[in-house]
Structure 1
């Protein structure tokens, strides 16, 4: 079995949200290389689908990529139960409080360079609580028909890998047998 071995890391940069390390990696053939490792806190993601088979999405601009796109509410969960964090983020960012949260999937969006771990929870109910606390997080919040998800992804309107994977999984689960 060919395994890369991390023989140690040195920190190049650190703040409360991210640590960038340089790892001394030994390849299976004995060679060594420096490899960047980005360590970040875990992320909790919320997906809510209502009785009309619509999913609650945020339309937001990401300055890093310079692009607009649909996203699911999400945020860090430092020590907090991820299901609780996902529900909290959903309410803060959309104004909707989800019902019971169930694990939909867990993924590492960039396993070749980052420890980023996303846990996605979903609910089939939500109660509107009022304007979102974090309205600055998005330009708008909409209930988007789940059947539109493949087209939105195909048109590049969903850019986050966590959102793409989650929305396709929900689309599959809620579409039923053909």
Structure 2
């Protein structure tokens, strides 16, 4: 018996510039059908830099939806016609005031693949130039260089909560040998 769920049809029940909510008719492996809501999302690009002291540039922000605070990477929706790397660079500059050096792709994650098709593309650089106060300073309370060696403890304490930041920072922790 196959364990593949088949999306037979799908129609939009709500749409805005950031996402679509679709209702899918899904056939289960045993032949039964169920209605399943699906969020269709635009790609998201994230970026950070790691300095010579093995610190990552992070933002400390509040998320009103979950009423929680945490360290995150600068992130945002990829604009039409924009490359993933350009979007990551733009978001880091807008949200932190630091322009990253050459970016390298770190990973791509599917933060909620049981409900949404959103892909989060994470980039990092080993250099950054301070340009000035961030254009989007309303998005965070602080922008700081955080030691990568502290990442496991920050994750354990719940100070890094978003799945994309947890995955990216733990991978950077591993890769840098922090």
Give TM-score scaled by structure 1 length: 0.97
Deviations 1:34-82 (A, max 9, x none): 0010011000010210010000010000000001111000001133110
Tell me if 1:50 matches 2:51: yes
The more displaced of 88-97 and 73-82 is: 73-82
Residue in 2 that maps onto 1:112: 114
Residue in 1 that maps onto 2:140: 138
Query: Which one of 95, 98, 107 corresponds to residue 96 of structure 1?
Result: 98
Residue in 2 that maps onto 1:75: 76
Query: Structure 1 residue 121: deviation in Å?
Result: 0.5
Residue in 2 that maps onto 1:150: 152
Question: Could you tell me how far apart the structure 2 residues matched to 1:48 and 1:58 are?
Answer: 12
- Deviating above 4 A after TM superposition, structure 1's stretches of 4 or more consecutive aligned residues are none
Question: Could you tell me how far apart the structure 2 residues matched to 1:157 and 1:12 are?
Answer: 35
1:24-35 pair list within 5 angstroms: 24-35=25-36
Q: How many residues get paired?
A: 176
Question: Could you tell me how far apart the structure 2 residues matched to 1:153 and 1:170 are?
Answer: 13
Residue in 2 that maps onto 1:11: 12
Residue in 1 that maps onto 2:169: 167
Query: Structure 1 residue 12: deviation in Å?
Result: 1.4
Residue in 2 that maps onto 1:124: 126
Query: Structure 1 residue 127: deviation in Å?
Result: 0.3
Question: Could you tell me how far apart the structure 2 residues matched to 1:47 and 1:7 are?
Answer: 40
Unaligned runs of 5+ in 2: none
Query: Structure 1 residue 6: deviation in Å?
Result: 0.4
